Chain A
Amino acid sequence: MNERIRIGCGAGFSGDRLEPALVLLQQANLDYLVLECLAERTIALAQKRKRQNPPLGYDPLLERRIELLLPDLIARNVRLITNMGAANPLAAAEKICGIARRLNLSITVAAITGDDVFHLLSGDEKALETGQPLTASGPLVSANAYLGADAILPALATKANIIITGRVADPSLFLTPLMHEFGWLPDNADQMGQGTVIGHLLECAGQLTGGYFADPGMDVPGRKNVPDLAHLGHPFADILPDGTATFGKVAGTGGLLTLATAKEQLLYEVMDPSRYLTPDVVADFTQVRLEEVGPNQVRVSGGRGQAAPGTLKVSVGYDAGFVGEGEISYAGSKAVGRAQLAGAIIQERLRDRFPDLRVDYIGSTSVHRTSFGEYPDPYEIRLRVAGKASTASMAALVGEEVEALYTNGPAGGGGARKYVHELVGIVSTLMDRRTITPQLTLFQS
């Protein structure tokens, strides 16, 4: 049995930066590199891409990330686990093998499938969010079950250099190598719980090491200062067989890893901290202990758990029509009054066709939907209007009306922009896990 495993997380979402993974790979002496790139909506959009073009449906940055990392992955014998397969892990595995052949590298890629359960749904299942049948939300376009560590584990028993999945629970990407290396068993709920805490802390990459934390305006100096954010380093964890983990980052990279950054990430997207549900365990974060054991070093222990649920969560995508948006700016004296007049004009022109039209004032109340009545009017302000429609041409009317404010609205409007994009909604349902069968397929370059 190994005495210590080092796992790095080089990406925490589909659009994450490419370079930090290479820094980890070249300088952190990793055993495993994980790239977490698949959000709920990302996979539904990927399913739509696959439908339009069957060889696609994997992560749009797959080729760029693999081309960058593959030579060092092989030279340093580091295994990569990633959910960049998105809607098409098999095509992603073939693509990776193609890149390897071009680079004259001999590799094995394991693709995990079985998360696509679209064919197993009738549409009459109840959506957790609405209590209504799934089809009541709209025409269904995708259904992907959150697979767990049990789906990935067989791939680690092979010679695969790269394990590529579709929808799996994010912490499972990190828990699986611990089970493989330390012989942890699925029915040891406390080990599954601690492994899930480790995975949860790593899964958003830079969000553990000072990304999304800095606030230079603080009156108390140093509280939220993060050094050299431009060169933010992503985290790794050294895990012992008892599950104790020490988190760190590569010396010389930017960022900050402290109790404060670790606490923010531990609670990120957590509902009931005593019942964090994954396919592997019902994890309990309420006994977790965090200790700063050195500069940019935090030790984590005390994750617990209860037996895994008998159901798996299924993320279901549906067509939700189109959204049209338009924006225009006003500045100088009484800018807010002119923007508000523009907003009122648009509402009058569009309200018959867009009952849910949304009017926001960027620079004032657009993201919090209030300013708590405390802040003075800004020097400049940007009107932003959004509306939903069943067709793209209908949605385009919103931006067209905003643009037309140039000659049909208040004085001094400038910088009009208009956008239309397709909406894919997401609802969830639960499925008996026994009806879902993960599969492993090996590819060689």
Chain B
Amino acid sequence: MTVKLYDLAHSRAGDKGNTLTLSLIPYNADDYELLRVRVTAEAVRHHLRDIVAGEVTRYELPNLPALQFVCQQALTGGVTTSLTMDTHGKSLSYALLEMKIER
């Protein structure tokens, strides 16, 4: 069965210069393992290929539980000089949640 991350988890985006951070937090802690297996750095890099130009690094936080993605070259130059509408990339949490995985 295919499921959207939106139905399993929530996310908040943050920015540091031209770098985008995206948390991925399962509503049910039981789904953390599924997310850990399916939502790899490579899968996120592929899903966000029209948005993120650089590397994607994933950090695991089993203590919460949650995953954290750090996406390089993701904000077309960063908040201060980008020509895009959402210069902070704040809305991009919902771009991650558009991703579909097999459950």
Interface residues, chain A, CB within 8 Å of chain B?
A: 40-41, 44, 129, 212-213, 215, 219-220, 223-224, 260, 263-274, 285-290, 302, 320, 323, 356, 358, 360, 362, 366-370, 372, 374, 384, 386-388, 423-428
Once the chains bind, are B92 and A368 in contact (CB under 8 Å)? yes
Interface residues, chain B, CB within 8 Å of chain A?
A: 7, 10-12, 14-19, 21, 23, 25, 27, 50-51, 59, 61, 63-64, 66, 68, 70, 78-81, 83-86, 91-92, 94-95, 98
Question: Shortest CB–CB separation between residue B27 and chain A, in angstroms?
Answer: 6
Question: Shortest CB–CB separation between residue A445 and chain B, in angstroms?
Answer: 37
Once the chains bind, are A263 and B64 in contact (CB under 8 Å)? yes
CB closest chain-B residue, reference A269: B14
Once the chains bind, are B83 and A388 in contact (CB under 8 Å)? yes
Once the chains bind, are B83 and A425 in contact (CB under 8 Å)? no
Complex alpha-carbon distance, A260 and B9, angstroms: 10
Once the chains bind, are A223 and B86 in contact (CB under 8 Å)? no
With a cutoff of 8 Å between Cβ atoms, the chain A residues found around residue B15 in the complex are 269
Complex alpha-carbon distance, A274 and B7, angstroms: 28
Once the chains bind, are B12 and A286 in contact (CB under 8 Å)? no
Residue of A41, A260, A323, A370 touching B83 (CB-CB under 8 A) = A323
Complex alpha-carbon distance, A186 and B24, angstroms: 33
Residue of A268, A289, A358, A360 touching B14 (CB-CB under 8 A) = A268
With a cutoff of 8 Å between Cβ atoms, the chain B residues found around residue A362 in the complex are 85
Once the chains bind, are A270 and B14 in contact (CB under 8 Å)? yes
CB closest chain-A residue, reference B47: A372
CB closest chain-A residue, reference B25: A263
With a cutoff of 8 Å between Cβ atoms, the chain A residues found around residue B7 in the complex are 219-220
Once the chains bind, are A267 and B92 in contact (CB under 8 Å)? no
CB closest chain-A residue, reference B22: A267
With A219-B7, A263-B25, A370-B50 known to touch, is A269 a contact of B16 (CB < 8 Å)? yes
Complex alpha-carbon distance, A90 and B92, angstroms: 39
